[in-house]
Amino acid sequence: MQPVILLIGVALVVWFWQQSLRARELAIHSAEELCRRQGLQLLDGTVALNALRLRRNTRGHIALQRTYLFDYSRDGDLRQQGFVLLLGLYLESAGLAAE
């Protein structure tokens, strides 16, 4: 029985890892698109996971909500922070620092 539990555990870890990679790619794409539309420069070209929690989606199913932070700049000097909020693999919202 233990090999089955171990196999299920490994499968869950692999699934979580793959979902996390897909979510991060979606967050990067969303941050790039937001910066492009606003005429901003996405600094470092990446996002950082800030928070991870369980939440219900619109269908009532439990999903992972991930909050990613990214840095951007208007002129290359002043670094500001934006966010991307994903629920599962769907973009919930994205925004920039209040100016």
Indicate the domain borders of the chain.
Answer: 2-95
pLDDT (0 to 100) of residue 77: 81
pLDDT (0 to 100) of residue 98: 75
pLDDT (0 to 100) of residue 99: 65
Structure tokens given for 85: 């909020």
Q: What is the C-alpha separation between 71 and 47, in angstroms, rounded?
A: 8
Q: What is the C-alpha separation between 33 and 65, in angstroms, rounded?
A: 20
At 1, is the pLDDT very low, low, confident or very high (cuts 50, 70, 90)?
A: low
CA proximity to 27, closest of 84, 80, 66? 84
The pLDDT of 9-35, averaged and rounded, is 96
**In this predicted model, what pLDDT tens digit does every residue of 35-86 receive, in sequence order?**
999 999 999 999 999 999 999 998 999 999 999 999 999 987 889 999 999 9
